[in-house]
Amino acid sequence: MNLIRYKSVELDKKFFLPVILIFIALASCLFAFVTLEHEGHWLTGMNNQVVWGIPHVFAIFLIVSASGILNIASISSVFGVPAYKPLSRLSGLLAIGLLIGGLMVLVLDLGRPDRLIVAMTTFNFKSIFAWNIFLYTGFLLIAVIYLWMMFEGRFNKYVTRVGMFAYGWRIILTTGTGSIFGFLVAKEAYDSAMLAPLFIAMSLLFGTAIFIQTIYYLKSSFEVIVGEIIFKRLRKLLLYFILAVLYFTILFHLTNLYATTHHDYEFFLLLSGNVYTYLFWIGQILLGTLLPLYLVSSKRFENCWNTLLLSSFLIIFGGFIQLYVIIISGQAFPLDMFPGFIENSTFGDGEVAQYIPSIYEFMLGLGGIAIASAVFIFGILILEFVPDSLKDEHLQNK
């Protein structure tokens, strides 16, 4: 077995474009925050019916991806697959960056960010939101300790124990995020225990897709040699997680179709021909699931990096659409306040809510991605996160 060496990267012209894009995104995010703080949320597309908009889609996408991307480290330390060990440090760094980016979007979209102090000091333990404050902050702390154990040679013997704890914590974290919606019994689109395993599967898929993008970036920009073993393992992981998300998606809708109270929503989403129907069938299922499933399972493309890269792009796009459909359509569908009766009022009761996101919402969301990217770039510049080589002969258990 050859020893894997790690390195930090040098600041050079390769970072010019990413850093410029990050600064533009952060400046736009700050402008959107100050504008909305001064003018109010009437500038967004959100309203009394749709109170969670595009910023929340960005935030939840980043949070569940943070949980899933740490799975790369878990495969090594918890499940004992040494081939993933050289990727563990990058996995931990990306998990921290994505979670910080997601939480930042949530805080900036509060309308009154100073009210976060109340949320952090006054807890209603009947609310899943209160539990999530502990889950998110705990995840950050555990990920930092996990990385500490990896970096410090004296503490390498504790990596497996900390990794097992981190594995359990991130499963609970993603369950809590899915349960935000699953516990909302008033919304027919939510109100399902199937959302918890669906969110766990989505986190694994999104995290793996983002990690593939990262490895390709290191491969193309910093000449990190990636062997066939890592390529095939990541490709296989992507295939398994696509199938898992597809399975739980089908099971979620079959469960809703079995319950009579959810029939109206399922017809609204799957067959009524509104914007959510097209987003579901074309964006989520066709482009975000079936096409990448074909690309990663076809033997024609089994040795093609570009195809794997395209598949991961499609999965990220489809995953964002999937969360948009879950979060927005569930609020747009009218509440059934009086079963058996038709509600109608000047407040829009009984009507499908309209939601058109504004540019300010996209600015906030892109700011979260910029924060995650900045944490990653800062990390690889100052500490030895990047493996010197991922050649097949340098990996154990070939």
How far apart (Å, rounded) are the C-alpha atoms in residues 140 and 103? 11
Residues contacting residue 62 through CB under 8 Å, at least 6 positions apart: 98, 99, 101, 102, 105, 368, 369, 372
* Amino acid present at 6: Y
Task: Look over the chain and give the mean of its residue pLDDT values, rounded to a whole number.
Answer: 89
**Which of 76-90, 171-185, 286-300, 341-355 is predicted with the least confidence, judged by mean pLDDT?**
341-355
Indicate the pLDDT class of residue 313, thresholds 50, 70 and 90.
Answer: very high
- Residue 152 C-alpha from the chain's centroid: 29
* Amino acid present at 254: L
Q: Determine contact, residues 90/75, Cβ cutoff 8 Å.
A: no
Indicate the pLDDT class of residue 37, thresholds 50, 70 and 90.
Answer: confident
Has residue 319 got a pLDDT over 90? yes
**Which of 135-144, 204-213, 289-298, 337-346 is predicted with the least confidence, judged by mean pLDDT?**
337-346
* Most confidently modeled range among 41-45, 56-60, 187-191, 391-395: 56-60
Indicate the pLDDT class of residue 149, thresholds 50, 70 and 90.
Answer: very high
Has residue 76 got a pLDDT over 80? yes
Residues contacting residue 149 through CB under 8 Å, at least 6 positions apart: 155, 156, 158, 159, 162
How far apart (Å, rounded) are the C-alpha atoms in residues 47 and 358? 12
Q: Quick one: average pLDDT of 303-316?
A: 94
Give CA separation, 345 vs 47, 50, 334, 348, 349, in Å: 16, 17, 12, 6, 5
Indicate the pLDDT class of residue 103, thresholds 50, 70 and 90.
Answer: very high
pLDDT at 1: 41
pTM attached to this predicted model:
0.92
pLDDT at 378: 94
pLDDT at 395: 67
Q: Quick one: average pLDDT of 102-116?
A: 81
Q: Which domains does the chain have, with CATH numbers?
A: 9-337+347-388 (1.20.1630.10)
Q: Quick one: average pLDDT of 53-72?
A: 95
Predicted confidence (pLDDT) per residue in 334-374, tens digit = 877 666 667 777 676 667 888 999 999 999 999 999 999 99
pLDDT at 398: 46
Has residue 70 got a pLDDT over 90? yes
Cα end-to-end span (Å), the chain: 10
Helices 54-69 & 88-108, crossing angle to 10 degrees? 160
Closest C-alpha among 273, 253, 255, 258 to residue 326: 253
How far apart (Å, rounded) are the C-alpha atoms in residues 280 and 43? 27
* Most confidently modeled range among 117-131, 151-165, 315-329: 315-329
Indicate the pLDDT class of residue 396, thresholds 50, 70 and 90.
Answer: low
Q: pLDDT exceeding 70 applies to what percent of the chain?
A: 94
Helices 195-221 & 228-258, crossing angle to 10 degrees? 160
Q: Which residue has the higher pLDDT, 163 or 186?
A: 163
Q: Which residue has the higher pLDDT, 6 or 203?
A: 203
pLDDT at 279: 96
How far apart (Å, rounded) are the C-alpha atoms in residues 326 and 73? 29
Indicate the pLDDT class of residue 12, thresholds 50, 70 and 90.
Answer: confident
Q: Quick one: average pLDDT of 77-105?
A: 92
Predicted confidence (pLDDT) per residue in 222-241, tens digit = 888 888 889 999 999 999 99
How far apart (Å, rounded) are the C-alpha atoms in residues 90 and 70? 9
H or E stretch including 205? Answer: helix 195-221
